[in-house]
Amino acid sequence: MKDVREEYHAEGLSEGHLHDNPVEQARRWVDEAIEAGFPLPNAMTLATVSADGQPSTRVVLLKGIEGGGFTFFTHYDSRKGEEIAANAKVSFTMFWQPFDRQMIVIGEASKVDEEESESYFASRPYASQISAAISPQSQPTSREWLEAEVEALQQQHPEAPVPRPANWGGYRITPTEIQFWHGRPSRLHDRFRYRKQADGSWVRERLAP
């Protein structure tokens, strides 16, 4: 690993090209990654922190940027869900390697309303609805138990819609800080950090790489 070295050729990120609102800048970067056809352009590594201060991370999928925040869907009883219930402060990172771009968001997570979770759950493929509905996410289990539960629920609901379990839904992360990192040659990378002020405006500054 020590010998793996990537040279970044990108032209970089100039302040003049940045949107004044970092949420809109984030939308641009996600849209550009989607348009470029990258695999999993909406994958984000989400960090939560336990009540006793232990961070943990996992990949989830960004499903929307609206209401000034970033939405993903999961099980509320999962490890991440329990950690968010105890401490709403979270952070996530998205990395688009072909663009040499990294985006880091810091903020607070809150549950989206029931209708939003309901309508997203209903839009998922039948098999995904079944898997989400039977899974006690983050609990120890066995493959046999999972497959038996899938079969039982398929018999109960042979086709969509499968009822959404009450413990499955969305979170929206409202940002307090967003950083945009762009790789440049010789490690002299561009970094811009936006921090939300008490009056709701954003202050932007360049950070040393």
Is 9 annotated as a binding-site member?
A: no
**Shortest distance, position 203 Cβ to ligand FMN, whole Å:** 31
Q: Which residue among the candidates 187, 193, 204, 206 is catalytic per the annotation?
A: 187
How many Å apart are CA 137 and CA 31, to the nearest integer? 30
Is 74 annotated as a binding-site member?
A: yes
Is 191 annotated as a binding-site member?
A: yes
C-alpha distances in Å from residue 189, one per residue of 83, 128, 147, 207, 208: 33, 40, 48, 9, 8
Phi, psi of 161 (to 5 degrees): -90, 145
Q: Which is nearer to ligand FMN, 14 or 57 (CB)?
A: 57
C-alpha distances in Å from residue 195, one per residue of 146, 180, 206: 44, 12, 12
**Shortest distance, position 180 Cβ to ligand FMN, whole Å:** 22
Alpha carbon 68 to its chain's center: 14
Q: Is 195 an active-site residue? A: no
Q: Which is nearer to ligand FMN, 137 or 176 (CB)?
A: 137
Is 206 annotated as a binding-site member?
A: no
Binding interface with ligand FMN (CB under 6 A): 40, 43, 56, 58-61, 72-74, 78-80, 137-138
Residue 15: strand, helix, or coil:
helix
Structure tokens at 201: 């405006």
How many Å apart are CA 134 and CA 158, to the nearest integer? 14
**AA identity, residue 79:** R
Q: Which is nearer to ligand FMN, 22 or 81 (CB)?
A: 81
How many Å apart are CA 11 and CA 189, to the nearest integer? 10
Q: Which is nearer to ligand FMN, 74 or 91 (CB)?
A: 74
**Shortest distance, position 45 Cβ to ligand FMN, whole Å:** 9
**Shortest distance, position 27 Cβ to ligand FMN, whole Å:** 18
Is 59 annotated as a binding-site member?
A: yes
Phi, psi of 136 (to 5 degrees): -85, 75
- Report the catalytic residues: 187
Annotated binding site for FMN: 58-63, 73-74, 79-80, 102, 137-138, 181, 191
